[in-house]
C-alpha cells in the first residue's frame, strides 16, 4: 500500500527530528573535542568517519533519486552503483571529525530541501535494494540515520531511538521477518516477544544478539 500524504508528512517530520538529534550529538562531541572519527564503529571494518561519510552520501543519493524522479527519471542512488557506493564510503576513512560532520550537515540540509519541493511521485533505484517508490524514501532515511547513529558508538544506544521510529520500524520488520518464514510459523519466537520494543528492533535489524535466538536474518 502506498503511503498517504499524512504518512509522508509524518515520516518527513520524523526524519527532520532524527537528523537534528544526531547532528546535535555530533556537534556537542566536537565542542568537547570528544569525537575521534578514526575510532572503530560497531560496524565491522568501518570506522566512525566511514559511517558518517556513508550517511552523507546516502543523503546525496536520496536527493539524487528524488530530483531524478521530478524529471521523470528513475536514477540509481549512487553513481557507479555498488562500486560507487563503496568508493564513496572508503573516501571518508581518513577524514577528520570536523570535516565529516560538516559534510553530513550539508548533505542533510540539501536532502531536507529536496523533501520540501518534491511531489513524492515516481521511483528511484536503491543500489542494494532495487527500484523503490519515492514516497518511501523519507522513512528509509529515518532508518538509516537511526540505526547508524547507534552504530557510531558515540553514546547513542538502542534505548535512545525515537519511540515513533521504533513503532513504525517494528511493524515493518516483523512483516519482513514473517514473509521469510514457512507458512504457519510467522509469529515471532517467545524470546523475541519478551524483548523491549527497542531491543526487538535491535535483534530484527542485526544489532543485538539474544541468547536463545538465531539472528533474524533480515539485514
Reported confidence tier of residue 118, pLDDT bands at 50, 70, 90: very high
Residues 144 and 173 placed together within one structural domain of the fold: no
Q: Is the pLDDT of residue 72 over 80?
A: yes
CA distance 122 to 132: 9
The parent domain of residue 33 ranges over 5-156
C-alpha distances (whole Å) from 216 to each of 29, 62, 179, 181 are 33, 27, 12, 11
Q: What was the pLDDT predicted at 2?
A: 66
Residues 152 and 166 placed together within one structural domain of the fold: no
Q: What was the pLDDT predicted at 129?
A: 84
Residues 139 and 213 placed together within one structural domain of the fold: no
Tally of domains within the chain: 2
Reported confidence tier of residue 182, pLDDT bands at 50, 70, 90: confident
Residues 111 and 64 placed together within one structural domain of the fold: yes
Whole-prediction pTM: 0.94
Residues 40 and 139 placed together within one structural domain of the fold: yes
CA distance 59 to 112: 9
- Tell me what the mean pLDDT of segment 7-30 comes to: 98
Residue finishing a domain among 156, 173, 199 = 156
**DSSP assigned state of 37:** T
The residue whose grid cell reads 569525537 is 35
Q: Which three cell numbers stand for residue 109?
A: 540540509
Residues 120 and 171 placed together within one structural domain of the fold: no
CA Rg, the chain, in Å? 17
Phi, psi (degrees; rounded to nearest 5) at 123: -150, 160
Residue finishing a domain among 133, 156, 179 = 156
CA distance 78 to 199: 31
Reported confidence tier of residue 35, pLDDT bands at 50, 70, 90: very high
Instruction: Give pairs for 85-92: CB < 8 Å, separation 24+.
Output: 85/57, 85/127, 85/128, 88/53, 88/54, 88/57, 89/46, 89/50, 89/53, 89/54, 89/57, 90/50, 91/53, 92/49, 92/50, 92/52, 92/53, 92/54, 92/56
Q: What was the pLDDT predicted at 217?
A: 87
Residue finishing a domain among 141, 156, 171 = 156
Q: Is the pLDDT of residue 1 over 60?
A: no
Residues 196 and 96 placed together within one structural domain of the fold: no
Residues 150 and 167 placed together within one structural domain of the fold: no
C-beta separation of 39 from 47 below 8 A: yes
Amino acid at each position: 500500500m502506498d503511503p498517504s500524504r499524512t504518512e509522508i508528512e509524518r515520516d518527513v517530520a520524523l526524519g527532520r527530528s532524527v537528523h537534528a538529534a544526531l547532528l546535535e550529538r555530533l556537534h556537542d562531541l566536537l565542542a568537547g573535542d570528544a569525537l575521534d572519527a578514526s575510532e572503530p564503529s560497531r560496524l565491522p571494518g568501518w570506522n566512525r568517519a566511514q559511517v558518517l561519510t556513508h550517511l552523507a552520501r546516502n543523503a546525496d543519493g536520496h536527493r539524487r533519486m528524488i530530483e531524478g524522479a521530478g524529471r521523470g527519471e528513475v536514477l540509481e542512488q549512487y553513481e557507479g552503483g555498488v562500486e560507487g557506493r563503496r568508493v564513496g564510503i572508503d573516501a571518508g576513512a581518513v577524514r577528520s571529525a570536523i570535516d565529516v560532520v560538516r559534510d553530513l550537515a550539508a548533505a542533510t540540509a540539501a536532502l531536507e530541501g529536496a523533501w520540501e519541493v518534491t511531489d513524492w511521485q515516481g521511483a528511484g533505484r536503491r543500489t542494494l535494494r532495487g527500484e523503490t517508490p519515492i514516497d518511501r524514501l523519507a522513512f528509509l532515511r529515518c532508518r538509516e540515520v537511526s540505526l547508524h547513529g547507534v552504530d557510531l558508538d558515540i553514546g547513542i544506544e538502542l534505548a535512545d531511538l525515537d519511540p515513533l521510529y521504533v513503532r513504525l520500524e517494528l511493524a515493518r520488520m516483523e512483516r519482513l521477518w514473517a514473509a521469510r518464514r514457512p507458512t504457519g510459523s510467522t509469529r515471532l519466537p517467545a524470546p523475541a516477544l519478551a524483548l523491549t520494543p527497542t531491543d526487538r528492533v535491535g535483534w530484527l535489524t542485526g544489532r543485538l544478539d539474544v541468547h536463545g535466538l538465531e539472528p533474524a536474518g533480515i539485514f
